[in-house]
Amino acid sequence: MLSDAEDRGYFPSGESVLRRVQGERAVGLLYGQRALLIGALDARNYVGTAEHSRYRDLPFKRLSATAKMFETVFFGSRAEADKVLAVVHRMHSTVEGELTEDAGPRNPAGTRYSAHDPELMLWTIAVAADASAYFYERLVRTLSTTEKNRFWAEWVRFGALFGMPPEAAPVGWAAFRTYMDGRLASDEMHLTEEARLTGHGVAFRIPFGAPGVVARDVHNLIILGSLPPVVRKHYGLAWSRRQQLAFDAACRGLKLGRPLSPARVARGSCAVRYDGVAKAESRLASQGRPPIALPPRPEVSAGAGLPS
């Protein structure tokens, strides 16, 4: 067993590219929403999450909890990360089922899903890695080829900590990009109507606290502009030349301003921000004004409990 002094975590500071990328708050505050929007295009991924969590009730609370778990693995000691991993492994042991409706030509009703499916595990880390690299390069600086290869290898290690067989993942950044681009262009991608509503809400109806409301328009523009055109098409999201110019200007301004920000502002954990969003969502929900209002599932009776 490692001593406290020796336990520098699975992604040590000063060595890990993944840790450096995720340590940028501009990445930490944006990558999860982009990853969710793209990840939901695999209906098995979305349904597995929605059916086995309180995602439908309090989506931002669930996302906040997941993001904080990820940060513990990114930044914490191995002992701290192992506690989180044990919790996730227990939760995932019950996540399996089948689609109740057709979800595109490749996933008809009856298609099975499982949290232990290597293909779905790969998809989950792939959309997160793609999103974090995108925002880092857009808002901080460009990664070298060597850094990208290390970055992806570390995401594969991250996936392996959660149970993904490393051999399920493409080797190297170029192979990863081929995988991502190929999947997005394939007929495997299909958006259920519920996933469309949820994704749109999670991306553009985030319950900012009072100080953050003024930044909502910029935030929404950056999320929308970051999406590949094929993803915007699936969601039915329009994109104009004027929006592109505004998006480029916003990203350029944030990137130029990054070196002027104190390190304590630009870098570090986003847990406090995540908690703020979850608390704002809970407050609105208690007032009967949830940020995302989804129709109730017909198979769940009024007042029935859902797993947490």
Phi, psi of 223 (to 5 degrees): -60, -50
Range 58-88 burial, b when 16+ CB lie within 10 A, else e: bbbbbbbbbbbbbbbbbbbbbeebeebbeeb
pLDDT at 300 (0 to 100): 32
Q: Is residue 246 part of a domain?
A: yes
Q: Is residue 11 part of a domain?
A: no
Taking the alpha carbons of 10, 13, 18, 21 in that order, is the dihedral positive or negative? positive
pLDDT at 307 (0 to 100): 27
pLDDT at 215 (0 to 100): 79
**pTM for the full predicted model:** 0.90
Give the integer Cα–Cα distance in Å for 79 and 107: 39
Residue span of the structural domain in which 154 resides: 17-282
Task: Output the tens digit of pLDDT for each of the chain's 308 residues.
Answer: 666 667 899 999 999 999 999 999 999 999 999 999 999 999 999 888 878 766 667 888 888 999 999 999 999 999 999 999 999 999 888 888 999 888 888 889 999 999 899 999 999 999 999 999 999 999 999 999 999 999 999 999 999 999 999 999 999 999 999 999 999 999 999 999 989 998 898 889 888 755 555 578 899 999 999 999 999 999 999 999 999 999 999 999 999 999 888 888 899 999 999 999 999 989 988 898 888 866 555 443 332 222 22
pLDDT at 106 (0 to 100): 87
Give the number of domains in the chain.
1
Give the integer Cα–Cα distance in Å for 110 and 146: 43
Q: Is residue 29 part of a domain?
A: yes
pLDDT at 122 (0 to 100): 97
Q: Which two tokens stand for residue 199?
A: 């994704």
CB 102 within 8 A of CB 109: yes
Q: Is residue 10 part of a domain?
A: no
Q: Is residue 196 part of a domain?
A: yes
Give the integer Cα–Cα distance in Å for 278 and 274: 6
Say how many C-beta atoms besides its own lie within 10 A of residue 120's C-beta: 19
Q: Which two tokens stand for residue 11?
A: 């992604």
pLDDT at 292 (0 to 100): 80
pLDDT at 213 (0 to 100): 54
Q: Is residue 242 part of a domain?
A: yes
Q: Which two tokens stand for residue 217?
A: 């328009």
pLDDT at 1 (0 to 100): 61
Q: Is residue 68 part of a domain?
A: yes
